Amino acid sequence: MKRLFLLLACLAPLAFWACSDKEVAGISTVETENAFLIQIVREDSKPAVGVVARMRSVDFVRNIEDDSPKAFFFEEFKTDSLGQIRIDSLAVDVATIEIVDAGEGLFTKISAEDIQEGDSVQYALEKTGSLRGKVYLPDSVDYAWVQVYGTDRLVKTDSEGFYEMDSLPPYEYDMRVIVGDSIIEQSAKIDAGENVSANVRTFEPDSVKVLDFESASAQFTIKELGISETGYMSSTDTSVKTTPEVEIIPETRKDLSDFIVEAGADREGNAIYWETSAAKPGSWSFYGIWICKEESPCDLSATDSIVYYARGTGVISIILETLGESNTEGKTLAYDTLKTSDEWTRRVIKPENFKPRDDLYGNLGWEVISKSVTTISIAAYDSTQFWIDDVVFYGVKPSDFTAR
C-alpha cells in the first residue's frame, strides 16, 4: 500500500502526558507502590463515580471489516466511590485510556514504565467535541474509512467523502484514513466542546463552484470548509431601475427569494434572474457575495478560467473585488454581451479577458486584485435582462478559500 503522510495541525512534542489532558492536583492519601492510581473528577471537582474507562494499545485501530456496535478494548475499569481506578500492570508499552460519560470525557496515554514506578494522578473530565470533514475521493473510489488510533472509532464516508465522529474527548488525535489502496495519516486537535473540521486530501479538485443559485439562503457553499454564504443586490444610483427592485448602495437587498427562479429553457434547477435599465453611463445594478474574509483575502491568481451558464440580452460583467477598511480597495472586471434569451450558453472568461488597469471606478486590474479577493459580483448595464447559473473557477482549489 502506498502511504501518504499529511498534517492538519502541527504536532507538539510528546511529553509523558499529552498537552490536551486537563491534569489537576495529584492524590497522595492512597498507597500506590507498584501500581498506578488515577482519580477522575467532574468539572465541578466532585469524584466521577461509576464511570467506565477503557484501555487500548496506543496503535490500535478498529478493523474496517467489523462494523458491529460492540466496543473494542483489552481492559475495562469502573471508578469507585472516590472516582478512582487502580492499574497494577500494563500488557503493552504504551496504552490509551478513554472515558466518555454524559457528554464529558477523557483521553490520555499511560506507559508500562510508569506503572512499574507507581504513581498517582487526577484528571478532570471535560466536554466532548466532534470531528467532521471531507475525504477527497479519486474518481475510482466510492468511499473511505476513517479510523482514530488508540480508540475503536471507525466511520465510513458517504459517496461524496463526508464523515462525522461525535463524543470525542479533548485531545490531539492521530487519524488513519483508508482511501482505495492508499493510507493517509494525519492529526486533528479537539478542544473541550469544540466541533473540528478535518479534511483529508488524497488529492484536491482543481476547480470550485463559487456560485450556485439553487437556494436563496446560500449561493457560495464549500461544505467541508464550513463555508455557507448568501449574497445581496444593489444598484449604483437612482437612475438604475430593476425588476425585482433593489436598494441603492451603500444599502443592499439581502432577501433574494424574488431573484432565484426556475432556470427554464430546458435547464434543470434554479438560476438568478433580474432586469435592469440605466439612464446614464457609469450606472449599473449588481449581485454581490463575500467569498473570503476581509481580514484574510484569498489568492485566486492561479485561476485558469471562469466558466458559467447564462441566457438573456444585454451587457453583464464578472467582477472580483478587494473590499474592507484594512485593504487597498479595488476591483477587476470582464464584460460579456448576451444575445439570446431562448437558450443557455456556456460562457468562458480567461484572466486576459479582464479589463486592463485604468483606475476608473476602482479598476486595478487582474494582476493586483486576483491576489487579494474578498467578493465576487455580477453586474448588469444599460438595458439588460438575463439569467445566470453555476459559476465555476478552474485552476483553484477549495483550500484556496480558507483563511490565510
- Determine which helix (DSSP H) or strand (DSSP E) holds 369, and give its type and residue range: helix 366-369
Where does a domain end: 146, 176, 203?
A: 203
Instruction: Region of 170 please: left (phi>0), alpha (psi -120 to 50) or beta.
Output: beta
Give the pLDDT confidence of 35-80 residue by residue, as tens digits.
789 999 998 999 999 999 999 999 999 999 887 778 889 999 999 9
Short-list 85, 168, 76, 88, CA closest to 121? 85
Give the list of residues 6+ apart from residue 209 with CB closer than 8 angstroms, or none: 390, 391, 392
With residue 368 as reference, give the H or E element that holds it.
helix 366-369
Tens digits of residue pLDDT in 362-383: 999 999 999 999 999 999 999 9
Please name which of 151, 100, 96, 154 lies closest in space to residue 128, comparing C-alpha atoms: 100
The average pLDDT across 1-8 equals 37
Indicate if 106 and 5 belong to the same structural domain. yes
CATH number, domain containing residue 61: 2.60.40.1120
Q: Are residues 154 and 214 in the same domain?
A: no
Cell numbers found for residue 136? 477527497
Peptide bond preceding 244: is omega within 30 degrees of 0, i.e. cis?
A: yes
Which grid coordinates belong to 284? 449599473
Instruction: Judge if 218 and 349 occupy the same domain.
Output: yes
User: Is pLDDT at 18 greater than 70 in this prediction?
Assistant: no
With 0.75 as the threshold, say if the pTM is over it. no
Strands 330-349 and 305-322: antiparallel
Beta-carbon contacts of 76 under 8 Å, excluding residues fewer than 6 positions away, are 52, 53, 54, 55
Q: What are phi and psi of 112, to 5 degrees?
A: -60, -35
Domain identity same for 130 and 239: no
User: Which domain range does residue 381 map to?
Assistant: 207-401
Question: Each residue of 134-185: pLDDT tens digit?
Answer: 999 988 899 999 999 999 999 999 999 999 999 999 999 999 999 998 999 9
349, 389: one domain: yes
Number of separate domains in the chain = 2
